[in-house]
Amino acid sequence: MKSRAVAITLGDPAGIGPEIIARAFRDAPELTRGCFVAGDHGTVRRAAQALEAPGRLALPVAAIEAPAEALDAPPRCIPVLQVVRPPDSPIALGAISAIAGRIAGDCVIWAARAALRGDVAALVTAPLHKEALAAAGYAFPGHTELLQAEAAAHMGRSVADVPVRMMLANDELRTVLVSIHMSLRAAIDAVSFEGVLQTLRIAHRSLSALLGRAPRIGVAGLNPHAGEGGLFGTEERDIIAPAIAAARAEGIAADGPHAPDTVFMRARATAQHAGEFDVVVAMYHDQGLIPVKYLGVEKGVNVTLGLPLVRTSPDHGTAFDIAGSGRADASSLIEAIRMARALSFSGD
């Protein structure tokens, strides 16, 4: 298959997205070869110039006209494809604004459509700000829902017919979530037989492609001690266990439900021992994300499973409080690029 470039979206230009993109091209030149920024030339140039230091020149920023041109760009050169209308003046750093939200959202839509057409191999999204996105008129709480809607429209399906799940991963632990951005009260109601079974299917299919084998899936319970036989809740007995049984009948290596306060430790892989599971299915957002983030946000990668495209993202937000200070760490973005390349290669 002919090589295709990887698109990195700009993120919110008022946050650290442009800076960590520039750092990634500077610090991981071999990994970022064949990548380009879907964004705004001026914003990327400002970020590159902010990395200047005594004895070190700013990285060159090259304007390209098509994604394929990024494949021939030299190391430590940042190819940028202008995919949005440039702002009339530089975006104020560290402040929520509708203009910044529009730029961030428009970059994601352009890149998603390019990926759905097959013009790019994968999509890596720098952080956007949910309030800025809403101020710009977007009716989505984040990347995941926006990408799901774009995929559904491209495929001529309803959003409900394109189920997606969030996976957060680092070197030690992977977790896939039954529900994503909703209140805790609503997330409890979202624990249904269909939802858990669908999550197990998506995790099995996606991790099989990544690992080259069927994954071992540990399933967390919803309640303390996984319900303790019904003493602390019946969701495990009435919903989660039947979904696991149905998944196992389909050949999916799912096990549980396990007490949520221990299953993540059992799945954790270290230099001393392999984890008992390749991935943990968590029942709601914070149940799954807290343990992964505790192990190290700087290496965490957010992957959207179930889409007809590869999408990864760093495991942190826009960090408005340090935007423009030169202190942003690009490690998570670099890992997201690495993961996107691995997933797009496995898809080929």
Looking at residue 58, what is its pLDDT? Answer: 72
Please tell me whether residues 183 and 316 are part of one structural domain. no
CATH number of the domain residue 287 falls in: 3.40.718.10
Please tell me whether residues 182 and 218 are part of one structural domain. yes
Query: Which residue, of 269, 295, 321, is where some domain finishes?
Result: 295
Beta strands in the chain (DSSP E): 6-9, 35-39, 61-63, 78-82, 122-125, 165-169, 174-177, 217-220, 254-258, 279-282, 301-305, 311-314
The one-letter amino acid at 52: E
Cα dist. 310→112, 127, 224, 252, 286 in Å?
9, 16, 35, 22, 24
In a domain, 93, yes or no: yes
In a domain, 300, yes or no: no
The domain containing residue 191 runs over which residues?
Answer: 171-295
Give the other-Cβ count within 10 Å of 214's Cβ. 14
CA pair distance 181, 294, nearest whole angstrom: 19
Please tell me whether residues 81 and 27 are part of one structural domain. yes
Reading the block at residue 255, the tokens are 């096990």
What residue ranges of the chain have pLDDT lower than 70? 1-2, 53-57, 297, 345-348
Looking at residue 1, what is its pLDDT? Answer: 44
Q: Is the pTM of this model over 0.75?
A: yes
Query: Which residue, of 272, 295, 318, is where some domain finishes?
Result: 295
Looking at residue 297, what is its pLDDT? Answer: 65
DSSP string, 229-259: GGTS-SHIIIIIHHHHHHHHHTT--EEEEE-
Beta bridge partners of 217: 254, 279
Give the other-Cβ count within 10 Å of 69's Cβ. 15
Our count of domains for the chain comes to: 2
